[in-house]
Amino acid sequence: MSNNADGDQLKDKLEQLRCHFTWELVIEDTEIADLENRVLEQIEFLDTKYNVGIYTLLAYVKHLRGQNEEALKSLKEAEDLTQQEHDNQSDVRSLVTWGNYAWLHYHMGRHAEAQIYLDEVKNTCRKLANSSSYRIECPQMDCEEGWALLKCGGENYERAKVCFEKALEVDPENPEFSTGYAITVYRLQAFNKPAKSTEAVLNTLKQAVRLNPEDAYMKSLLALQLQGVRQEAQGEKYIKEALTDGSSKIYVFRHAAKFYRKKGSTREALQFLKLALKATPSSVCLHHQMGLCYKLQMIRIKRATNGQPKGQDKENINRIIQSAISHFEFAVQQKPTFEFAYIDLAEMYTEAGDHQKAEDVYQKVLCMESLNKYMLQQVHFHYGQFLEFQKKSEVDAISHYLKAVKIENASLNRDKSIYSLKKLALKKLQRDASDIESLYILGFIHKVKGEMNEALEYYEQALRLVPVLENSVLVTHRH
Domains of the chain by start residue, with CATH: 2-137 (1.25.40.10)
Max Cα-Cα span within the chain: 95
User: What pLDDT score was predicted for residue 401?
Assistant: 98
**How much is the mean pLDDT over the chain?**
93
Contacts of 88 (CB under 8 A, 6+ apart): none
Strands (E), 87-136: none
d(CA 149, CA 20): 9
In this prediction, residues 309-333 reach a mean pLDDT of 97
User: What pLDDT score was predicted for residue 8?
Assistant: 82
The alpha carbon torsion through 68, 71, 76, 78 (nearest 10 deg) reads -150
Confidence at 370, pLDDT banded by 50, 70, 90:
confident
User: What pLDDT score was predicted for residue 3?
Assistant: 61
pLDDT of 197 > 80? The answer is no
Contact 3, 109 (CB under 8 A): no
User: What pLDDT score was predicted for residue 194?
Assistant: 53
Tell me the torsion sign for CA atoms 341, 342, 346, 347: negative
d(CA 239, CA 74): 34
User: What pLDDT score was predicted for residue 473?
Assistant: 40
Percent share of the chain, pLDDT over 70: 94
In this prediction, residues 227-251 reach a mean pLDDT of 96
Confidence at 479, pLDDT banded by 50, 70, 90:
very low
Confidence at 474, pLDDT banded by 50, 70, 90:
very low
pLDDT of 129 > 90? The answer is no
